[in-house]
Structure 1
Amino acid sequence: MAVSVSILAVVTCLHLIAFVLAVGAERRRSTGKVVPDQYDERTFCAYDTDVSTAYGLTAFGLLLISHAVVNGVTRCLCFARALYRALLPTFLFLFSWIVFLGAEACLLAGSARNAYHTKYRGWFGIQDFSCATLRKGVFAAGAAMTLISMVASILYYWAHNRADTGGWQKHRNEGLDMTSMSPQQKSDVFEKV
């Protein structure tokens, strides 16, 4: 099986778009401020934007599609021929899955935590009243793992295709014949008249 450029292009594009969206989600995390209520003496949390949740979930989906494409093409290493002794594709398969699951966990947890908004109210006299926000770096970790997942998936696809020899089919019709060669006979079909 040869390495398909179109598969590599699709996987690379999906990973890079997911990376850009994860970086955008990190940059646009929602922040909350304690604001006084205009009708009474209480305060509440006002959040500015929630766009990073959508960015994170979109990156999550694109990364999932990309990993499904790679594992669909390589048949998830489960039904491959002649790979039971190949160490490199097996290692890269496991490594790409571990990094993929880490990136998906960061993106999903970051999106869920970013969507959480504090609903309670406090009195003016409370000094340590704060709004719940997402920690800095969760989407950045997801973005970094997305790039590592891209490299691991491409290397896994490449190593899988190099190791997938097809067993005995590779050596079919090669070698010397065991019969003697007969001299070619002249054919009078194409002679000039």
Structure 2
Amino acid sequence: MGKPSFGLVCLIFVFHLIAFCLALGAETRRTKVTWDFDSVGQYYYCNYKLDIASGLAAGGFIFNLISILVIMGVTRCFCCGGPYDPGSFRAFAIVSLVLLWLCYIIAQACFLAGANQNQMRTTTKYFQGTLIPDCETISKGIFAAAAAFTFFSGILSEFYYICTTKSKTENQQGTAARSVGMTNFSQHSPYNL
């Protein structure tokens, strides 16, 4: 069995923690909008406050991407990493890999959708006597969902890395491989002439 690298575990944790904090920051700094009235032109319009939520979401997206690239590069995405011992560690590694990719894809989709929607600006003017404009803003909670799935993908990536490392065979770790030797058998075989 292999031994997980403590430094790599800490590095993956830090990347996911930064992405998680950026997602929470983006949630609190979403676009704010007010309805204002232009007395000269006699119309209502949407007045959007400047924010940094989209930039924070882009940062969270990048740190989440870096963390998954590091973990997949180290483990070679499980399928290309070499032989693994059968057992519970290998089964847990496969299950956590599937769940990790699911959480990662959802988190990245939330980051992208949130950053895109946060930049939407309604420019329609509503003249006096009509209804107050319906100003488009991002749905509350999309960055919180990104934070939640980033948190889950962080836990799953740590679990996946540890299980993958522990399930590697002795041959993969550089020690003697468990194999059946055929040399002694052929020397003592009664069929040798």
TM-score category of the 2 structures, normalised to the smaller one: 0.7 to 0.9
Q: Which position in structure 2 is the counterpart of 1:20?
A: 21
Find the counterpart in structure 2 of residue 95 from structure 1.
99
Match of 1:29 in 2: 30
Whole-angstrom distance in 2 between the partners of 1:105 and 1:146: 11
- The percentage of aligned residue pairs carrying the same residue is 30
CA distance in 1, matches of 2:85, 2:176: 19
In 2, distance between residues paired with 1:108 and 1:79? Answer: 30
CA RMSD of aligned residues (A): 2.1
Shift of 1:118: 0.7
Q: Distance in 2 between matches of 1:79 and 1:154?
A: 19
* Alignment of 1:8 onto 2:18: no
Instruction: Indicate conservation of the 8 Å contact 1:103/1:145, yes or no.
Output: yes
Shift of 1:123: 1.1
The range that moved more, 141-150 or 77-86, is 77-86
Aligned counterparts of 1:126 and 1:136: Cα–Cα separation in 2: 27
Q: Which residue of 2 aligns with 1:114?
A: 118
Amino acid at match of 1:47: Y
Q: 1:46/1:128 Cα in 2 relative to 1: closer, same or farther (>3 Å)?
A: closer
Is the contact made by 1:19 and 1:146 (CA closer than 8 Å) also made in structure 2?
A: yes
Q: Which amino acid aligns with 1:5?
A: F
**Any conservation in 2 of the 1:81–1:166 contact (CA below 8 Å)?**
no
Secondary structure of the structure 1 residue equivalent to 2:130: coil
How far apart in 1 are the matches of 2:175 and 2:142? 48
Find the residue that maps to 1:76 and give its secondary structure.
Answer: coil
Task: Return the match for 1:157 from 161, 170, 173.
Answer: 161
Query: Unaligned 5+ residue runs, structure 1?
Result: 179-193
The CA deviation at 1:50 is: 2.5
User: Does the CA contact (< 8 Å) of 1:118 and 1:132 recur in 2?
Assistant: yes
Alpha-carbon displacement from aligned partner over 1:48-101 (angstroms, at most 9, x marks no partner): 123101011110110000111000000111212223853221111111000000
Q: How does 1:1-193 map to 2 (within 5 A)?
A: 1-83=2-84, 85=86, 86-167=90-171, 170-172=175-177
**Structure 2 counterpart of 1:181:** none
Cα distance, 1:15 vs. partner?
Answer: 0.5
Q: What SS does the corresponding residue of 2:71 show, helix, strand or coil?
A: helix
Bigger CA radius of gyration? 1
- What is the total number of aligned residue pairs between the two structures? 175
